[in-house]
Chain A
Amino acid sequence: AQSVTQLDSQVPVFEEAPVELRCNYSSSVSVYLFWYVQYPNQGLQLLLKYLSGSTLVESINGFEAEFNKSQTSFHLRKPSVHISDTAEYFCAVSERQAGTALIFGKGTTLSVSS
C-alpha cells in the first residue's frame, strides 16, 4: 500500500522569501508523483508532475519539485513567493500499474504575507 506524508501542515512565509514544502512517500512499486494546489472554494489544480526522465520538474508559475528515489521524497520549492501563492498544496502518488487512483497527503497550507 502507498502512503504520502506532508511534513508540515502550515508554512507561513513573507512575500519574496523562498519556500519548501516537504513530501515523502512510501510505496513498494514504481509511482507517478504530483503536486496539486487548491485555492479557497475551488477544486484541485495540477501544479506539476513527475512521470519519468529528468528528476527535476517545473511549473509555469515558478514552482519546481525534485524526485529523490533514494529518499522517497518529492519536495516542492519556489525561490520567491507571492501573496497569490497562498493556498493549500497537496502531494499525491499513484501506482504506475494500478490505474488512476491518487493517494494524497494531508496537505500543507502556505500562507504568504507582506
Chain B
Amino acid sequence: KAGVTQTPRYLIKTRGQQVTLSCSPISGHRSVSWYQQTPGQGLQFLFEYFSETQRNKGNFPGRFSGRQFSNSRSEMNVSTLELGDSALYLCASSLARPTGNEQFFGPGTRLTVL
C-alpha cells in the first residue's frame, strides 16, 4: 500500500505571496491532518479534515486554510506569506476516529519564505 504523499517536496516563495500544498492520504484513509514543524516551535497542529469537513483546528491565523476533496486528498493554503511561515509542513492520514488516533505521516513539504 502506498504511503502518504506530499507535493511539492520543496518550495521557495517570497513574502506576500500565497502557496498551496497538496497531500494524498493512504488509500482508504478518510482523515487528513496538517502539522507545521519549525526549530523554534516544534510540531504544531494546524487542522484536521474528515469527509471533506474541517472538524478540528489548531491555533493558527486565518491565513492558513485547507480543504479536503471527495477522494480524501487534501490541500493546505497559506496566503500573504511571512518569513515566519518557513517550515516543514507535514500531512498525516488516519482511518477515522476512534482508532487509537494512529496517524501516518508523509515526508513533508519544506517551505522557504524569502
Contact = CB atoms under 8 A, between A and B. Distances in A.
Interface of A: 32, 34, 36, 41-46, 49, 51, 90, 92, 94, 96, 98-107
A51 B107 CA distance: 25
Interface of B: 4, 31, 33, 35, 42-45, 48, 55-56, 58, 90, 92, 94, 97-98, 100-108
24 contacts: A32-B100, A34-B102, A41-B107, A43-B90, A43-B105, A44-B90, A44-B92, A51-B100, A99-B55, A99-B56, A99-B101, A100-B94, A101-B33, A101-B45, A102-B33, A102-B92, A102-B101, A102-B103, A103-B45, A104-B35, A104-B43, A104-B44, A105-B42, A107-B42
* Chain B interface, DSSP helix/strand/loop, else mixed: strand
A90 B43 contact: yes
Contact of B101 (A36, A42, A90, A100): A100
